[in-house]
Amino acid sequence: MNEATRISTVTPARNTAIDVMRYGLAFVVVLLHSLPVGKDDYPTWVPLISILCRVSVPFFFITSGYFLRQASQVNAAAILKPVQRLVPIYLFWMLVYFIFLHFVPVRQWSFRPGDLISGGAAFHLWFLPALCAALVLVSGCIGLAGMRATGAVCLLLAVLGLCLGSYHEVLGMPGSAQRGGLLISPLFVYLGVLTRLRNWSLGRWAIPAILLSYLLLGLEEWLIYRLSAAPLFVSHDFTIATYLVGITCFLGVRQWPGSKILDRAVWFGRLSLSVYAGHVLFLWMLAPIIGKDTLGQVAVLAILCFALSTLLSLVLMRIPALRRVVS
């Protein structure tokens, strides 16, 4: 086997900063979903905050790739491990949202084929099948064809996803733009694997690199806005610079020195997935009451939803039969 594959069989030790950041970025997701998007008009601070929040999902994908246990050769058990881990979690939360919407019909549930991988009414659950598919693809491709070929496949998928999504109007493509999470996510996972293989580090340049990546993200969003002649300046789920933001933030967090504060807070990292999955339940219930028209309302809504989804996660964690599907 080649050197890259040999090194990739070693799973790095847990990193307290990464685990704590996962919980912190779960709040960033809640904040993102609390913003008043989907309107004909909104204040300038809405897309600006949205751009700042775009680090969360890339960070989660890259982290999963970084800790991916890669077999030294094609191994069905290793490749299918993400399926065994993530599919039950996805089905559990789909069931939770189905039951919730049955009794509290704030949204219309549907069972179209696409909903099986997009989350349906629980739109944010797309993350789980996308992550599962990305881990299977990257792990299988590395075992079959090696790192370089896997990188080429992930890059091609990312380009296709960007063309169908953020750059859809810029390129004048027919139809409507797509989120493209299934196409976008493999390259994030691959970057996580590559970080482990090459032991990338930003050192003292971490903060400048993060700031530069965000500057490029804002510039790219502005260019898309101008070139597409869009009526509003918006923040897209994924762009080219999103990869830079994700990897620079991950590398910056990875090199944080350990501390007693991080050691005490590391346990909350276990709650990040269930907080991500469950917060929309509270968002649906509280948004009509609190509102989301002002920055203060958005802040209160996000904090309350985050706190309640954390409490829900703690309750579910105390049920032995559910621990496997909530953390």
Please report, for the chain, the start and end positions of each structural domain, with discontinuous segments joined by +.
Answer: 3-325
Q: Which residues, in sequence order, are CB contacts of 245 under 8 Å at separation 6+?
A: 54, 55, 58, 210, 213, 214, 217
CA-CA distance, 221 to 245, in Å (whole number)?
Answer: 13
Percent share of the chain, pLDDT over 70 = 92
> Residue 3: its pLDDT value, please?
46
pLDDT tens-digit readout, 302-325: 999 999 999 999 999 888 888 887
> Residue 7: its pLDDT value, please?
43
Torsion of CA 126, 23, 247, 169, to 10 degrees: 40
Task: Band the pLDDT of 277: cuts 50, 70, 90.
Answer: very high
> Residue 71: its pLDDT value, please?
56
Residue 77 has pLDDT above 90, yes or no: no
Q: What's the pTM?
A: 0.92
Determine which of 119-123, 148-152, 275-279 has the lowest per-residue pLDDT on average: 119-123
CA 203 to each of CA 179, 199, 253: distance values in angstroms, whole numbers, following the listed order = 34, 12, 11
